[in-house]
Amino acid sequence: MLIAIEHEAEREHERKAPLAANTIHRMIGGMDRAAAISQIRAACNELASGITAMHPLLSALDDEPTKAEIIKALFELTRNVETVKKQVMRLEKRDDSALL
């Protein structure tokens, strides 16, 4: 019985997923580059804040190997967020230089 309920939940998610993707595409389809850059930058800032907020929580884990692995993962996340921010900044500068 439980397996049947789980399978039904998966099927429901699969039915809704394409609708969500279409809705998002319609919402951003008419977005201009400046607005997209602004939203990407805001999302990066939110991600960075969330990553930073995790650091003080690690001491409560009281397990050094786990903390070490999480710190490595948080570093990688931070590095990737910074890469996104750098690419957006480069694109923005390229757009600004084209206006001159």
- State the Cα–Cα distance between residues 43 and 50, nearest whole angstrom: 11
Q: Please answer whether residues 25 and 37 qualify as being in contact, where contact means their C-beta atoms are separated by less than 8 angstroms.
A: no
Distance CA 2, CA 77 (A): 36
User: What pLDDT sits at residue 30?
Assistant: 79
Question: What pLDDT is recorded for position 95?
Answer: 74
pLDDT at residue number 21:
54
Give per-10-residue mean pLDDT for the chain (100 aa). Answer: 59 60 58 93 97 96 97 97 96 75
pLDDT at 90: 94
Task: Look at residue 39 in the predicted model and tell me its pLDDT.
Answer: 96
